[in-house]
Amino acid sequence: MRVRNKPWANDYITDHPHIVIQEPKSFKGKWKEVFGNDHPIHIEVGTGKGQFIAGMAKQNPEVNYIGIELFESVLVNALQKAADDHIPNLKLLNVDAADLTEIFDQKEISRVYLNFSDPWPKKRHEKRRLTYKTFLAKYEEILVKGGEIHFKTDNQGLFEYSLKSLAEYGLKLIYVSLDLHNSDFEDNIMTEYEEKFSGMGQKIYRLEAKCMNK
């Protein structure tokens, strides 16, 4: 993804420390305290501009949401949505998903969302895919027993790869759709990429998998 530099992004983020949590590793094991309640915590890895996570947080006030995004110039778009709409159950982190197990304790998270993750189609970049086994191991570590991974994409190659990678890792596939927008799935909240690609006529693939072996 091309990322446009925004020189004001850093200041805007540091001006909103109650939404974009600074020094997130210091809250490992204490995320319930950050939200001030015992509600389950769902994270989205690669949140982008935040339409999905902000929509989910507004739709489900009994769930706490954390959006994780590598680039601050992208995250500021999510921050603008969170700040404008005053969404108490939404926090954002400007971190790399590679650090997830340093930020969250074992079993601290109930669900991981992956939406339109970068496909990294070249075989030599396989390890960067967010459904590669090393990332699955991190999700498994921070997820509760029976915790779930929900993934959607327009990219057939990445979807096929992810089905195989999750199954080989031992995650149980509990839902697969090869055409989400023509399925019986209700309450879908579209991401920015989903709007763009479905608007171009692309089918959207979606899966849910459960962590069984803990």
Residues forming the active site: 118
193 part of the interface to ligand SAM, by CB under 6 A: yes
| Chosen residue from 116, 139, 161, 205 binding ligand SAM by CB under 6 A | 116
46 part of the interface to ligand SAM, by CB under 6 A: yes
Work out the end-to-end distance of the chain between its first and last CA atoms, rounded to an integer number of angstroms. Answer: 35
Interacting residues of 178 by C-beta distance below 8 A, sequence separation 6+: 203, 205
53 and 138 Cβ atoms separated by less than 8 Å: no
Helices and strands (H and E) in the chain: how many: 8, 7
| Stretch of residues binding ligand SAM (CB under 6 A), selected from 45-53, 77-85, 139-147, 198-206 | 45-53
71 part of the interface to ligand SAM, by CB under 6 A: yes
| Chosen residue from 48, 104, 110, 147 binding ligand SAM by CB under 6 A | 48
| Chosen residue from 21, 66, 70, 82 binding ligand SAM by CB under 6 A | 70
Burial environment of residue 202 by CB neighbours within 10 A (0 to 12, 13 to 18, 19 or more)? middle
Q: Using alpha carbons only, what angle is made at residue 124 by residues 119 and 130, rounded to the nearest 5 degrees? A: 35
Which residues within the stretch 88-107 sit at the binding site for ligand SAM (CB under 6 A)? 96-98
Note the residues at the interface with ligand SAM (CB under 6 A): 1, 45-48, 68-71, 74, 96-98, 115-118, 191-194
